[in-house]
Amino acid sequence: MLKFFVSFICTATFVTVTAQPKQPPYTRADTLRGSITAGRAWWNVLKYDITVQPDYANKHLLGKSSITYKVLQDKHANTLQLDLQEPLAIDSIVLNNKSKLNFTKEGNAWHVQPPQQAKGSVQVIDVYYQGQVHEAKRAPWDGGWTFTTDSLSRPWMTVTCQGLGASIWYPCKDHQSDEPDNGASLTMIVPDTLVAVANGRLQSKTSNGKGTATYTWAVVSPINNYDIIPYIGKYVNFKDLYNGEKGQLDIDYWVLDYNLDKAKDYLPKEVNSMLQAFEHWFGPYPFYEDGYKLIDVPHTGMEHQSAVAYGNWYKPGYRGRDGSGTGWGLKWDFIVIHESGHEWFGNNITSNDLADMWIHEGFTNYSETLYIDYLWGSHAANAYNAGIRRGIRNDKPIIPDYNINAQGSGDMYPKASNMIHAIRHSINNDTLFRSIMRGLNKAFYHKTVDAAEIKTFFSKSTGFNCNKVFDQYLTTTQIPVLEYYTSSSKVFYRYSNCIKGFNLPLLLKDKTSSIKIFPGEAWKSSNITAAQSALFNKAAIESMYYITAEQKAAN
């Protein structure tokens, strides 16, 4: 998701360190939502089977969430914590199609009282619920249902819920660390004049009579809670095949009927070039079993796994705009590229805690640079990546506090992307860098991760300890300063305005010469030639690395 794109394109100058807003006190509700509580720790979700019947006229939802789970502990808490946000409410909960369970409500957390269950056993609870929907006011930048109309005034419905959480529309264990191991299904009962689409593959369509039809879709892969999404409207379908690294990938396009001709002309070219570039850099598309889809939506777009939401008006750029200000962002469809990039980072590799959403957004933002590199080369990619810095605000750290469902700064997009690009420049070996990108998606295939695992993988792969580089850009608002001066045939250099131990190596080069230096907090020196001396140029250094270069007077 590009939640902060609008602020990017409106920011025209670099920002250094600003006063950080005071953190409001955390509440018990924050802890219940954002941490692995005792009521969450003892059970692991295996599958969600969700059934919903949205009432478009009355903005009401009737639903059932069947949750298959495995018991992880011999003796466990007396409660099982479910999450469902107001104004929806749970009516009843049934265990294994037999026993009705008691429960209490604490804000948006529902404490269910099951009997003690044997470790390793598999259980099923059916959670029946209903109520008025929570509507998204500015989808996808806030969460909830969108009940709107298409341009012909026909009903059009969908959901967005990243950050706010899937519990805004169905009962679940609403924590990113627990994806359903065996996938999920979504059944939608809708007016028979409309078509219902969701993640994965269509399992069945049934005409119910009385003006309704039932559609069931399912994925077999693990999936983020917030990625399970209904799309309901006057959709038509066309198909394509992509010959990829794991064989033939099924591609489906579900578009509003009046968009069919332009969609056929426009979307396959964008999708095919995306798949070529991303399979090159990241490895095979992670969900061949579930296929790949683009689906028309009334908002700009979202990364819903195997069912990417598309609302970019069938035009290059981000609704005609270029966040980098360089022109390179107008040569490709931003939503197709960015939201599909999340299939690798966000959907394949998922952060355990919302605080580590930079893993989703930073790498996916960087996928834009890599896409440009694949099609137009390193010069264009470098220009684009430097251009998106105008969206960096340095308002607060990218990583906020853990275990309270907090999101850090929107800098998780362009600043984290520039961090990755700096590490790539420092490595100066694209064969190695590509192996790291592909290695991440192989090592953490269909897994949830912590930031420490990503940092460790980079450090082992690059051969130098990257931890302080990640910490610098993710946990502070300081822009490191490279201080340098030349004297005779030597260059002297050090880092300032940075955390202790910041150690990003710098490879400086042009067409004829290069030099690699390893600055630290203390002054160091290297012997240089006249050609190498010319590489110590403020503009050239800053174009490659998100640092400030300051030339000092020679001693």
pLDDT digit string, tens, across residues 534-547: 999 999 999 999 99
Residue 310, classed as helix, strand or coil, is strand
Q: Given 436, 464, 492, which residue is the final one in a domain?
A: 464
Query: Which one-letter amino acid corresponds to residue 19?
Result: A
Are 408 and 523 in the same domain?
A: no
Pair (380, 441) in one structural domain: yes
What stretches in the chain show pLDDT beneath 50? 4-20
Strand stretches in 119-230, DSSP E? 122-132, 144-149, 155-160, 184-191, 195-197, 201-209, 212-219
Residues 514 and 429 in one domain: no
Q: How far apart are CA 166 and CA 74, in angstroms?
A: 29
**Is residue 66 assigned to a domain?**
no
* CATH at residue 343: 1.10.390.10
Q: Give the per-residue pLDDT at 207.
A: 97
Same structural domain, 384 and 504:
no
* Measured distance CA(471)–CA(233) in Å, rounded: 45
Q: Could you tell me if 371 and 445 lie in one domain?
A: yes
Together in a domain, 446 and 504: no
Listed residues 406, 432, 464: the one ending a domain: 464
pLDDT averaged over every residue in the chain: 95
433 with 351, same domain? yes
Are residues 495 and 445 part of one domain?
A: no
**352-366: pLDDT as tens digits:** 999 999 999 999 999
pLDDT at 488: 87
Question: Rounded CA gap, 204 and 325, in Å?
Answer: 46
Q: What pLDDT is recorded for position 15?
A: 37
Quickly list DSSP for 249-279: EEEEEEEEGGGHHHHHHHHHHHHHHHHHHHH
Q: Which stretches does DSSP call E strand in 353-443? A: none
Strands 247-256 and 292-296: parallel
How long is the chain?
A: 555
- Does residue 94 fall inside a structural domain? no
Range of the structural domain that residue 485 is part of: 481-551
| Domain assignment of residue 542, yes or no | yes
Residue 515 lies inside a defined structural domain of this protein: yes
Give me the pLDDT at residue 23, please. 61
Residues 460 and 346 in one domain: yes
Residue 455 lies in a domain: yes
pLDDT score for 7? 41
Same domain, 444 and 539: no
- What pLDDT shows up at residue 25? 80
Q: Rounded to whole angstroms, how far apart are CA atoms 468 and 498?
A: 10
Q: Structural domain tally of the chain?
A: 2
Q: What CA dihedral angle connects 519, 492, 17 and 6, to 10 degrees?
A: -70
pLDDT of residue 286: 98
Same domain (yes/no): 386, 435: yes
Q: Residue 309 belongs to what H/E stretch? A: strand 308-310
Sign, CA dihedral 271-276-277-283, equals positive
In a domain, 398, yes or no: yes
Question: Is residue 187 in some structural domain?
Answer: no
Cα separation, 540 vs 27, whole angstroms: 47
| Phi/psi at 296 (5° precision) | -60, 135
Q: Domain ends where: 420, 437, 464?
A: 464
414/532 same-domain check: no
Q: Is residue 384 part of a domain?
A: yes
Q: How far apart are CA 164 and CA 384, in angstroms?
A: 31
Positive/negative CA dihedral, 433, 438, 443, 448: positive
